[in-house]
Amino acid sequence: MTATASQIQSSRIPFLTADFWQETFALTRRWFIQLKRRPTTLLVGIIQPLLWLILFGALFQNAPAGIFGAGQNYTQFLGAGVIVFTAFGGALNAGVPVIFDREFGFLNRLLVAPLTSRFSIVLASSLFIVSLALVQTAVIVGADYAFGAGIPNGPGLAVVALIVGLLVLGFTALSLGLAFAMPGHQQLLALIFLLNLPLIFSSTALAPLSFMPLWLRWVASLNPLTFAIEPIRHLYRSNDWSFADVVLQAPWGDLTLAGSLGLLAGFVVVSVLLVQRVLRKSLA
């Protein structure tokens, strides 16, 4: 199987070549042109998290002070959760336009072209979704600040952006993998629907670990969303943070800020390897 060997090889090297970036940016540009001419997507993507903040914030407004952690009211607690599940929602849906491309035959246009690596299709979507998620995050951080939740310091904001970027990369890759592996859009949409809310509810987005029964604590502390939420929450809590700070006391041990970044990076690596496998297997 010389073909597979050469394909694997060519999919490792291309990141350094100008050709790879030319095809990647061309595909990214397509998504941005679509966004520019159909701005509704962006508008909804900004209004929705604000509604979450207002409605969920109001829901627990009269909860006893301090039960969400020392010196935090629910609006402060919720900010990190809304940032993460907004970014997560966008990433999880990344495969939808791609599966429609597959069904309408547009994908064949890309597949008959001599792409340096088909990973450029994945990277193009990821760059687009990450940019979108960062815009959404900026709006949520601003709104949260206006609601009196405070704001992380400068370096803290940079780490928030890094966390959102990693989380979105991981879930975008998974969603695109599904878009290539699923038989059709009905199945993909059903699966996204199935994954979306349970993943949010089994994380610490809406309630802290201490509220949960032990089994759910285990689930929540293995959920990648939690690895993103808790460090952001910590950056909101403390202006004097360090990478060695413990951000989550999980049933399996203490998780530090550096540790959660490591876990998120690992999640990205696993997702990207999975999608590479799917690309090789399902496409000739």
Partner 1 sequence: MVMSDTPAVLVQQLQKRYGSTPAVVDVSFQVGSGQIYGILGPNGAGKTTTLHCICTLLRPDAGQVEVCGIPVQENPKAVREKLGFVAQEVALDKVLTGRELLQLQADLYHMPRPLAQERIATVLQLLDLTDRADERTGTYSGGLRKRLDLAAGLLHQPQVLVLDEPTVGLDIQSRLVIWDFLRQLKNMGITVLLSSHYLEEIDLLADRVAIIDRGTVIAEGTPEELKARVGGERITVKLQEFAPKELAERGAALLGSLPFVQQVLINSAQGNALNLVVQSNGEDPLGKIRSHLQAHGLELFSSTQSRPSLDDVYLAATGQTLLDAELAAAEAATGKKKK
CB of 42 to partner 1, least distance (A): 14
**Cβ of residue 120: shortest distance to partner 1, in angstroms?**
9
Nearest to 69 by CA among 160, 204, 172, 169: 204
- Are the C-beta atoms of 78 and 53 separated by less than 8 Å? yes
Among 112, 183, 215, 242, binds partner 1 (CB under 8 A): 112
Closer to partner 1 by Cβ: residue 1 or 244: 1
Cβ distance 256 to 247 under 8 Å? yes
Regarding 279 and contact with partner 1 (CB under 8 A), the answer is: no
| Shortest distance (Å) from residue 106 CB to partner 1 | 4
The single residue among 39, 105, 148, 154 that binds partner 1, judged by CB under 8 A, is 105
Residues 13, 111, 190, 269: which binds partner 1 (CB under 8 A)? 111
- Would you state the structure tokens that stand for residue 284, as one six-digit string? 């000739």
Block residue for tokens 């310091």: 153
For residues 228 and 216, give the distance between their C-alpha atoms in angstroms, rounded to a whole number: 17
The span of 97-105, 163-171, 223-231, 241-249 binding partner 1 (CB under 8 A) equals 97-105
Give the number of other CB atoms < 10 A from CB of residue 150: 15
Sign of CA dihedral 258, 260, 261, 263: positive
* Comparison of 37 and 213: residue with beta carbon closer to partner 1: 37
| Residues 26 to 45 in contact with partner 1, rule: CB under 8 A | 26-27, 29-30, 33-34, 37-38
Site string for partner 1, 50-89 (x = CB under 8 A): ----------------------------------------
185 lines the binding site for partner 1 (CB under 8 A): no
C-beta closer to partner 1: residue 104 or 215: 104
16 sits near partner 1 (criterion: CB under 8 A): no
Residues of the shown chain interacting with partner 1 in the complex, contacts defined by CB under 8 A: 2-3, 6, 10, 19, 22-23, 25-27, 29-30, 33-34, 37-38, 101, 104-106, 108-116, 284
